[in-house]
Amino acid sequence: MRFHGLTVLLLGCSLGLADDLTARFELTLNRVLKGGPPAYLPGFVLADAIPQHTRRFTEYCGDVSGRYIGALSVYSKASGARLSELENVVRKLLTLQRADGHFGDPLDSGRATTRNMAILWGNGRLLIGLLEYYQYNQRAEVLAAARKLGDFFAGMAPLYNSEEVQQQFSGDLLAVGYICWTQCLEGLVELARVTGENKYLDTARAVAARVDRFPAQHSHGFLTSLRGVLDLHRLSGDAKLLAQVETQWQALVESGNVLPHGAIPEAFAPKIKRDEGCSEADWLRLNIALWNTTRKQQYLQAAEWTLFNEFQFNQFRTGDFGHRDLSALGAGPASARAWWCCTLHGLRAFPEIAACVFHEENGTLFYDLPVNGYGRIGNDFVVHADSQLGTVGIINLDIQAAGKSSQSLAIRLPQWARNVGINLGGKKLDGILRNGYIHLTRTWKKNDRLLLAYDIRTRIMKKPGQTNLVAFTHGPWFLGVDNQGSPDFFGELTALNRVIAISTPSTGEVTLERVSSRQQSRTPFAVPMAEFNLRYLPGGYPAQPQQAVLRPIAEQTSLHDNTEWIFWFQTAPPGEELKTQRE
């Protein structure tokens, strides 16, 4: 099944490339529209709004309904598609709204309870879902329903935005904690933008002042709330709100809750047990939004790292997103496809990725993310990126429209590359390196093709707090060993295996042998450019060195759900291999 509208928007080129987001996007879109089990049938989706408790988590009234409507509405707006599945759900939903404006079960009256928190959470997801539909199709009855739901939240604010309730629900409550209230911020800000009414803006400001992070908190709820604070800054222009988001971002990074492979755990420390697809999508979207707001490279780098690693690692071969257990040395084997939230939230992230590939600033077109996409300055300068980074280490930039005057194109030199060689028609182009971008200014011609060749670094990363353990990266990819590709690496003494690698201490770079073409993965999401042989001394028999395959964790999407991965390795001292063989 092909979804050509957003396929063109996202990538506009051939499918099936390892670093081609089209295939990943289509995998998840097809899962939502046609896949299963369980299938997203109208009655199944709306069970949390009816309410009809016939599936899991219907107590979060409006949660699946809102996510489904929001994700498909954003897709439809971007692609021009018109989905009967979406229209049927919206039509039926509008008949289910209660007199007080909310959907689903009645609330416990006059007091804050965990049951009410679940209802508030789901209705918050439904509020933003309705407004995302309204962005796509401005039906008056949809906006009326959103306003009525917004009025419901404004009416709840005196109780739920109080210090007393915040303290009551800021403990170890995870999915029924105070974030169930603050996440409504995203919808309130959008409602204020659409209607221009101060009551929604004033409520949003009050809620934003309550957004804070604490131990063992549900990360998805916190990050969704933080995205709402950033939305409020972008609407109001209040610099203090941006400072609040940036301060929280920095504190989150320093807290150890942003894991080295770009993951956010479901619950913050000290309750880190597994990842969550919703949180990965939130972290990706937050960094994209911060990049678009500030143009600070740290946010683009964080978005890129999560995109190439945890976001793809979290995607299942069915197209679902969900959970994978985290271990001291890696991840798995336990996992769960979270169709009730993560699959839909993962789908919602793809259009924002597409919009972040290029940006225009002061008459220059910047190529930011090394993936497929389109960039333009009006109709006079249109560039299409065709990324083959994961297969052969190159990206083609095709000039699809060019005016008669000179145009400036800036190509990002990422930290994971030593250099980017630029070739046009067989001739090398030399640009000016400025602020991390190679700038080229010339009179382009339609059908010019720039070939970008990335000189990619392979590096060692030390584990925070455990410097005796290292991980390996190649370019934007975080690497690991899995029990499907290298079953002999796993056993009773796996933790005692020691890898043999030659590093360059001053740069952190490492020399590894690429796998042969015969050994390369042939799965749909393989990244042959980043697959290496990893020699190691087995924990149980170090006198007989062995070899495993080190490959990007992003390849997990093609593997069985319960695959086990090792990310962190002990290293053997120089000469240890020869010593053990002599002994």
Amino acid at 552: P
* Model pLDDT for residues 139-176, shown as the tens digit of each residue: 999 999 999 999 999 999 999 999 999 999 998 888 99
Which residues, in sequence order, are bridge partners of residue 454? 420
Domain count of the chain? 3
Per-residue tokens: 151: 């009025």
Q: What is the distance between the alpha carbons of residues 17 and 8, in angstroms, rounded to a whole number?
A: 15
Q: Which of 355, 378, 412 is the last residue of a domain?
A: 355
Least confident stretch, 29-33, 150-154, 341-345, 539-543: 539-543
Amino acid at 344: L
436, part of any domain: yes
pLDDT digits (tens, 9 = 90+) for 271-290: 999 999 999 999 999 999 99
Query: What residues form DSSP beta bridges with 571?
Result: 499
Give the percent of the chain with pLDDT over 70: 95
In whole angstroms, give the CA distance from residue 299 to residue 292.
9
pTM of the model: 0.95
Do 433 and 513 belong together in one domain? no
Looking at residue 499, the DSSP 8-state letter turns out to be: E
Q: State the amino acid at position 415 in one-letter form.
A: Q
- Rounded to whole angstroms, the Cα distance separating 578 from 511 reads 18
Predicted confidence band of residue 394 (pLDDT cuts 50, 70, 90): very high
Concatenate the DSSP letters of all residues of 8-62 into one string: HHHT-S-S--TT-HHHHHHHHHHHHHH--SSP--HHHHGGGTTT---STTTTSTT
pLDDT for res 263: 98
| CA proximity to 456, closest of 477, 471, 475 | 475
The sign of the dihedral angle between the CA atoms of 539, 541, 545, 548 is negative
Same domain for 305 and 390, yes or no, is no
Q: Over range 511-527, report the average pLDDT.
A: 88
Question: How far apart, in whole angstroms, are the C-alpha atoms of residue 337 and residue 39?
Answer: 13
pLDDT above 60 for 557: yes
The Cα 498–Cα 480 span in angstroms is 14
Inside any domain, residue 284:
yes
User: Is residue 522 pLDDT above 90, yes or no?
Assistant: no
Note the pLDDT of residue 15: 30
CB atoms within 10 A of CB 178: 27
Contact 336, 323 (CB under 8 A): yes
Q: What is the mean pLDDT of the segment spanning 323-336?
A: 96
Pair (498, 477) in one structural domain: yes
Residue 519 has pLDDT above 60, yes or no: yes
User: Residue length, the chain?
Assistant: 583
Q: Are residues 340 and 425 in the same domain?
A: no
Does one domain contain both 450 and 469? no
Terminal Cα distance for the chain, rounded = 59
Give me the residue label for tokens 């002599």: 582
Query: What CATH number should be reported for the domain holding residue 397?
Result: 2.60.40
Q: Show Cβ contacts of residue 65 under 8 Å, excluding neighbours closer than 6 positions.
A: 45, 46, 48, 49, 89, 93, 103, 122, 125, 126, 129
112 neighbors 169 (Cβ within 8 angstroms): yes
DSSP code for 516:
P
Question: Does residue 581 carry a pLDDT above 90?
Answer: no
pLDDT at residue 503 in the model: 73
- The answer on 465 and 440 residing in a single domain is no
Same domain, 549 and 570: yes
Q: Which domain holds residue 465?
A: 458-582
> In 525-583, which residue ranges form alpha helices assigned H by DSSP?
576-582
358-390 b/e with 16+ CB inside 10 Å = b? bbeeeebbbbbbbbbbbbebeeebbbbbbbbbb
| Token pair recorded at residue 484 | 């499907």
Does the residue 102 lie in any domain? no
Would you say residue 567 has pLDDT above 80? Answer: yes
Whether residue 440 is contained in a domain is answered as: yes
Question: How many angstroms from the chain centroid is the CA of residue 523?
Answer: 22
Kindly report, residue by residue over 217-230, the tens digit of the pLDDT.
999 999 999 999 99
- Banded pLDDT at 467 (limits 50, 70, 90): confident
Pair 510, 483 in one domain: yes
- Same domain for 425 and 469, yes or no, is no
With cut-offs at 50, 70 and 90, classify the pLDDT of residue 579. Answer: low
Peptide bond into 370 cis (omega under 30): no
Q: 325 and 315 share a domain?
A: yes
Of 491 and 242, the one with more pLDDT: 242
Please indicate, yes or no, if residue 348 is contained in any of the structural domains.
yes
In this structure, is residue 69 part of a structural domain? no
Residue 495 Cα distances to 200, 461, 556, angstroms: 54, 18, 21
The pLDDT assigned to 131 comes to 98
Q: Assess whether pLDDT exceeds 90 at residue 6.
A: no
Question: Does one domain contain both 381 and 344?
Answer: no
pLDDT of res. 2: 39
Domain end (from 322, 355, 388): 355
535 DSSP β-pair partners: 500, 547
**pLDDT tens sequence across 167-214:** 999 988 889 999 999 999 999 999 999 999 999 999 999 999 999 999
Task: Report the pLDDT value the prediction gives residue 21, as an integer from 0 to 100.
Answer: 86
Which strands make up the sheet holding 449-456, listed edge to edge? Answer: 373-377, 381-388, 394-402, 449-456, 417-424, 427-428
User: What is the per-residue pLDDT across 287-323, written as a single tens digit (0 to 9) for each?
Assistant: 999 999 999 999 999 999 999 999 999 999 999 999 9
Position 580 scores a pLDDT of 53
Does residue 464 share a domain with residue 426? no
Does the structure show a pLDDT above 60 at 13?
Answer: no
Pick from 120-124, 225-229, 540-544: least confident: 540-544
Q: Assess whether the previous peptide bond of 270 is cis (omega < 30° from 0).
A: yes
Residue 4 has a pLDDT of 37
